Structure 1
């Protein structure tokens, strides 16, 4: 255990107790890393996870609207932050967990949070720009909640503990609407003086 610093605004007992919890978490993470190395690393589920993490970006680079690249990436990074934060919370609260992970650390499932969700949002933003954003959000939410999640559950990647698919629908809907609003922002300007 690390030496406690004298004069801390936090009480020594609080610091010690928090350290005990973090040590347990670190020990469990080391144990999981060993398990992951022997049972996932370079197995079919690991390889498929990496394909799902990389392939959507290759598709996006090829088919994106070139003159909107910066704006789309801005939206994509927002989607990454939004989805990975909520995914982290759900995993940490024991609502679901993943197997076959590409990286045995946070974020919970790299292909979801860093590839499939943000690329799907960016592609959908470019398609049919005259359509209602609420219709597109409903399509996105339906596909994510009732198609993608069940497929990933069937593959054994996504294990629901205290969660239901339909609970995901409003979250995906909100994420798409926020991304749509961000994509329309007029605050971008050149950095030149």
Structure 2
């Protein structure tokens, strides 16, 4: 077998891009799943804007943006490695589960961060939310045909959510100004 070149990879990516866009136009755009993803991309931020602690906006927003960045990177790697997949997308050319990675997950953890007065409370609430995302939300998305596990489990997701929450918490606490 011939050693693949960068040009071969580029051609394969162009083919994948073209069929992904075609699939999105034919199967995703304006379906109920698409509207659900659109709502998931917008509504949590509207709720956050109304109920977040205005005195801590910058700190909480930094927490959420780091969460969103790490979730997106993790999601792209996992989807590219075919550990899981998303049959439906909000947009054809962005990471598959952008509404969850940039909205639902970080905003949910932002509220936990905001309302946890102690690290122990944060740990407990992060465990609970990680379990809800891994064992309930993922399960529902599988039942709706919007999420597929290939070489992954809900328990791996649970561990991932929880570890990411701790990593981001630790980063923010180390970076936040003292006093």
After TM superposition, the score normalised by the length of structure 2 is: 0.91
Aligned to 2:155: 166
**How far apart are the structure 2 equivalents of 1:156 and 1:186?**
40
More helix per residue: 2
Contact 1:88 1:107 in 2 (8 A): yes
**How far apart are the structure 2 equivalents of 1:92 and 1:105?**
14
Higher RCO by CA contacts (8 Å cutoff, separation 6 or greater)? 2
**How far apart are the structure 1 equivalents of 2:155 and 2:71?**
16
Aligned to 1:115: 103
Unaligned runs of 5+ in 2: none
Aligned to 1:28: 16
**How far apart are the structure 2 equivalents of 1:28 and 1:114?**
24
TM superposition shift of 1:187: 4.4
Aligned to 1:181: 170
Contact 1:121 1:179 in 2 (8 A): no
Deviating above 6 A after TM superposition, structure 1's stretches of 4 or more consecutive aligned residues are: none
**Matched length:** 176
CA RMSD of aligned residues (A): 1.9
Aligned to 1:9: none
**How far apart are the structure 1 equivalents of 2:132 and 2:152?**
17
The yes-or-no answer on 1:135 pairing with 2:124 is yes
TM superposition shift of 1:73: 0.9
1:157 to 115, 136, 146: 146
| CA displacement, residues 51-81 of structure 1 (integer Å, 9 cap, x when unaligned) | 0110000000000000111111111110011
TM superposition shift of 1:135: 1.6
Cα–Cα, structure 1 residues 95 and 120, in superposed 2: closer, same or farther, change >3 Å? same
